[in-house]
Amino acid sequence: MKTLLTGSEGLVGSTIDAQVRVCGRKPPLPGYKEYGRRWVDLRIPKDTLSLFHETKPTHVIHCAARVGGLAANINHMGEFFYDNMMINLNVLEAARRAKVKKVVSFMSTCIFPDDVEYPITEDKLHLGEPHPSNYGYSYAKRMVEVQSRAYNEQYGISVSGSDVTFNTNYITVAPTNIYGPKDNFELENSHVLPALIHKCYLAKKHNTPFVVWGSGKPLREFIYSEDVGELTQILLEEYGESSPVILSTSEEHSIRDIVIAIADAVDFQGHIIYDDTKPDGQYRKPTCNDKLMSIVPGYKFTPLEEGIQKTVDWFIENYENCRK
Ligand code: GFB
């Protein structure tokens, strides 16, 4: 099994990279010809094809994407659509041409319809418009599920006489809000949890108020990056259906709950302000994780307080060099 990991520098990719042996980005792995590490622009078809031609993986964990929080999605709607469409089209087509058996591609729970009966389940993916704050990203990500399903249908199995060959078995996962060490902690364009950790750290350092966007009332489900890494490996090896799997704790927390947990973890005693000139975005997107739990019964998720403390400790320890 030779696994190519795309997006290995990102939050999920770097976590998985630390957890599993991957090829295609580290020279050399035992039993694998030396392959120099180079950054590949996966939006360019020929560069993506040559990456697969050179690394010849049997499996792909496809984490690479153009991602960002609420503000980034609102301000870069067209780029988020184009970049993610090109990355996904190129990676899956290059995988197919390189005869890759298994690909697991990442979507997200924010791409599900905004007006849908809750809780969100995998079968509701295409039952309506995504939230207006991130429809560019959402439609591009939904297409990776369509492309995976279409490839499995056309190329999945080939029969000649009595011989049956299993070819593409491409699956998709839809994690809820992922957080953890090695995230992007940039103040304007990152996701809520890392952005608030950075803001709380600066508020404590400069004795200024800790400013939170919106009302703090919206609800979110959070999953720790190391749990996503473990679950992805299990699904890569044990799950083979075309329909997606939601990766979620299915535990909702208000933004205010998160603010309090972060203030505790940073030991911030100062003033907290909710800036209602900033958007709340989607009010909630509660998910049902029954399908995931049927595949990994009894899986123990990292408790939110523990994950936040680990992330805060990592951020403070790596403040000089982390993405911020
Ligand atoms: O992670 P986030 O930016 O995006 O969270 P989504 C936005 C929520 O956090 C809104 C509140 O309710 C914001 O009002 N919030 C409060 C903040 N303070 C801040 C802050 O300083 N920064 C940010 N960013 N938010 C994401 C998608 O949607 O869902 C991702 O953008 C991904 O691509 C993820 O799919 C699952 O949670 O709204």
Our answer on whether the CB atom of 218 is closer than 6 Å to any ligand 1 atom is yes
Q: In testing the pocket of ligand 1, which one of 11, 12, 70, 260 has its CB within 8 Å of the most ligand atoms?
A: 70
Is residue 69 classed as helix, strand or coil in its secondary structure? coil
Nearest-5° Cα angle at 216, 10 to 258: 50
Contact 106, 175 (CB under 8 A): yes
Our answer on whether the CB atom of 214 is closer than 6 Å to any ligand 1 atom is yes
Query: What spacing in Å lies between the alpha carbon of 177 and ligand 1's midpoint?
Result: 8
Query: How do residues 218-264 score in pLDDT, each as one tens digit?
Result: 999 999 999 999 999 899 989 989 899 999 999 999 999 999 999 99
Residue 25 confidence (pLDDT) above 60: no
Q: In testing the pocket of ligand 1, which one of 178, 191, 225, 283 has its CB within 8 Å of the most ligand atoms?
A: 191
Our answer on whether the CB atom of 248 is closer than 6 Å to any ligand 1 atom is no
Q: Which of 137, 151, 170, 179 is catalytic?
A: 137
Q: Which residue has the higher pLDDT, 294 or 36?
A: 294
For ligand 1, atom 27, which residue shows the shortest CA distance? 69
Our answer on whether the CB atom of 213 is closer than 6 Å to any ligand 1 atom is yes
Residue 314 Cα to chain centre, angstroms: 19
Distance CA 219, CA 192 (A): 12
pTM for the whole structure: 0.91
For ligand 1, atom 13, which residue shows the shortest CA distance? 280
Here the tokens at position 89 are 């089209």
pLDDT-derived band at 94, boundaries 50, 70, 90: very high
Omega before 113 within 30 of 0, i.e. cis: no
Active-site residue, 35 included: no
Residues above pLDDT 90, as percent of the chain? 76
Distance CA 88, CA 149 (A): 13
Residue with tokens 């044990």: 238
Is residue 201 classed as helix, strand or coil in its secondary structure? helix
Contact 22, 10 (CB under 8 A): no
